Amino acid sequence: MSRFSDYIKTEDFKKEKHVPVIDLPENIKAGEAFNVEVTVGKEIPHPNTTEHFIAWILLTYKPEGENFAYELGRVDFTAHGASAAGANQGPAYTNPVAVFNVKLLKPGVLTAVEHCNIHGFWESSKDIKF
């Protein structure tokens, strides 16, 4: 029997970048808000066309010593150049970059998951230490 985790990839392939890049401040303090930026295609831009795009980014947090993760937020990217005039002729595009402002009380792990409409689910994680 397959599990959802069997479908999540963590390493890039070809000339496209799918693994979400998590950027954090160098010094994080317990109880103080900070920004987490998640980008798909930071080094090599991911296509953002009507036919091939990043649909969403999800950010979760699993506190150290706990059994469950918390969903911190999800951003949907819904404009990819589609219009009544045809594919890739629309006036708007949303690039796969999301900023989450969070406050954490314990060390733990942030995990970003993204979905490419063609290449599926991709994830990366970053440890949070105080």
Residue 17 a catalytic site member: yes
Residue 80 a catalytic site member: no
Residue 115 a catalytic site member: no
Residue 116 a catalytic site member: yes
Residue 43 a catalytic site member: no
Q: Which of 16, 62, 123, 126 is catalytic?
A: 16
Of 114, 118, 97, 125, give the one whose Cα is nearest residue 8.
Answer: 114
Q: Which of 106, 119, 123, 126 is catalytic?
A: 119
Q: Which of 9, 52, 62, 106 is catalytic?
A: 52
Spell out the residues 6+ positions from residue 60 whose beta carbon is closer than 8 angstroms to its own.
69, 70, 71, 72, 110, 111, 112, 113
- Report, as residue numbers or ranges, the catalytic residues: 16-18, 46, 52, 116, 119
